[in-house]
């Protein structure tokens, strides 16, 4: 049985297949409408979420399946002290597959060791978020037509932003990828990403503090919010929260075919005046999240459907 805990749990070929199925789902949704009839997805969310949980649920419903779950630790027995290991043993008897979000790094991995159903990591602390990465890859491939030979700018909270960590890990396997990492000194990428992912694989990257100077080079600009819930004190958050605000003035220096992605939720880091610019892709990105999660559920339940050529 396969679990998706880390973005590298899927090979490049498996990702290509998933993105092809996701494209097919977008174009032929009816073909997929009944495939999961009788199957249940449990969403076990110990941390807030809008898109990830609802896109998983929409994905299962679009496939004809059913959903159950909880959306905060307070409303689950975690508040009574139940361990993730015990919860997942029980849920394994109630559902066919589950998506888990947890504030503790590694919690979905622990769950996968006790589960008898596939476990999908829907975000573990400041660590990884592999299905957001699938969403990001589908978005980039759909907009740019490729996943190689791209200069990718990642901007904001690169320290705590789990979507950034997973995206760097995953994109590092494609050729011709160069990263421009834009962050204040205190929010730079963790050492393990710099050393074990970027340097170990000889991936070209630069680390800068100013967004303006690198804007003309970028093919993709991936904006992120400063992750308030991961800070030890509020003062640091307040000082850093508005480090970057992308507005029309700054966007003028960008290529006409650069796309702006953001995993959402947005706080202040993208001015709403940009929302109607053709380069703003973040709401389309959220829609792609449903297609790719549908493809992933099918794969993990071994209900694979081949995309039409
Ligand atoms: C992200 C997350 O939860 O890590 N949101 C999401 O899943 N789309 C990004 C964030 O919360 O900033």
Ligand 1 pocket test, candidate residues 57, 58, 265, most atoms within 8 A of CB: 265
CB contact set of 88 (below 8 Å; sequence gap of 6+): 44, 98, 100, 111, 114, 115, 119
pLDDT at 308 over 70: no
Query: Average pLDDT, stretch 43-72?
Result: 96
End-to-end CA, the chain = 28
> Diameter of the chain by CA atoms?
55
Query: What is the percent of the chain where pLDDT is above 70?
Result: 98
What's the pLDDT at 76?
A: 86
What's the pLDDT at 204?
A: 98
Distance from the alpha carbon of residue 30 to the mean position of ligand 1, in angstroms: 29
In SS3 terms, 226-260 reads as CCHHHCCCHHHHHHHCCCCCECHHHHCCCCCCCEE
Catalytic residue of the set 40, 53, 101, 141? 101
pLDDT at 102 over 80: yes
Which element (helix H / strand E) includes 67? strand 66-70
Pocket of ligand 1 (CB under 6 A): 51-52, 123, 129, 132, 162-163, 224-225, 263-265
Q: Quickly state the pLDDT bin for 305 (edges 50, 70, 90).
A: confident
Q: Quickly state the pLDDT bin for 75 (edges 50, 70, 90).
A: confident
pLDDT at 306 over 80: no
Residue-wise pLDDT tens digits, 208-243: 999 999 999 999 999 999 999 999 899 999 999 999
- DSSP-derived letter for residue 280 is B
pLDDT at 309 over 70: no
- Which ligand 1 atom is nearest residue 162's CA? 4
Higher confidence at residue 309 or residue 215?
215
Q: Quickly state the pLDDT bin for 250 (edges 50, 70, 90).
A: very high
What's the pLDDT at 304?
A: 67
Of residues 118, 175, 159, the one with CA closest to residue 297: 118
Distance from the alpha carbon of residue 245 to the mean position of ligand 1, in angstroms: 18
DSSP 35-59: TTTT-EEEEEESS--SHHHHHHHHH
What's the pLDDT at 8?
A: 98
- Which ligand 1 atom is nearest residue 263's CA? 8
Cα 62 to Cα 265: distance, rounded to the nearest angstrom? 23
pLDDT at 176 over 80: yes
Distance from the alpha carbon of residue 50 to the mean position of ligand 1, in angstroms: 9
> What's the pTM?
0.97
Catalytic residue of the set 30, 80, 175, 306? 80
Distance from the alpha carbon of residue 81 to the mean position of ligand 1, in angstroms: 26
Q: Which residues pair with 100 in a beta bridge?
A: 44, 121
Size of the chain, expressed as the number of residues it contains: 309
Residue-wise pLDDT tens digits, 264-287: 999 999 999 999 999 999 999 999
Cα 71 to Cα 122: distance, rounded to the nearest angstrom? 12
What average pLDDT does the structure give for the chain? 96
């Amino acid at each position: 049985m396969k679990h998706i805990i880390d973005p590298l749990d899927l090979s490049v070929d498996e990702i290509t297949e998933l993105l092809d199925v996701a494209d097919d789902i977008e174009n032929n949704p009816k073909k997929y409408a009944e495939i999961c009839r009788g199957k249940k997805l449990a969403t076990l969310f110990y941390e807030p979420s809008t898109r990830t949980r609802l896109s998983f649920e929409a994905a299962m419903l679009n496939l004809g399946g059913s959903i159950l779950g909880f959306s905060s630790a307070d409303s689950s027995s975690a508040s009574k002290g139940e361990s993730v290991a015990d919860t997942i043993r029980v849920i394994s008897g109630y559902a066919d597959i589950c998506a888990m979000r947890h504030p503790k790094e590694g919690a979905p991995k622990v769950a996968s060791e006790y589960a008898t159903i596939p476990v999908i990591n829907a975000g573990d602390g400041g660590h990884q978020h592999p299905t957001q990465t699938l969403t990001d890859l589908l978005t980039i491939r759909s907009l740019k037509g490729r996943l190689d030979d791209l200069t990718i700018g990642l901007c904001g909270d690169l320290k705590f932003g789990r979507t950034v960590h997973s995206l760097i890990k995953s994109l590092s396997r494609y050729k011709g990828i160069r990263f421009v990492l834009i962050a204040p000194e205190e929010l730079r990428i963790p050492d393990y990403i710099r050393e074990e992912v970027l340097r170990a694989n000889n991936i070209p990257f630069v680390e800068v503090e100013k967004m303006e100077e690198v804007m003309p080079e970028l093919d993709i600009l991936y904006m992120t919010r400063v992750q308030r819930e991961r800070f030890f004190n509020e003062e640091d958050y307040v000082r850093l929260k508005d480090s970057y605000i992308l507005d029309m003035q700054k966007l003028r220096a960008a290529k006409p075919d650069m796309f702006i992605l953001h995993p959402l939720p947005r706080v202040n880091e993208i001015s709403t005046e940009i929302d109607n610019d053709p380069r703003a892709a973040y709401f389309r990105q959220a829609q792609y999240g449903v297609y790719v999660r549908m493809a992933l559920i099918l794969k993990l339940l071994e209900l694979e459907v081949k995309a039409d050529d």
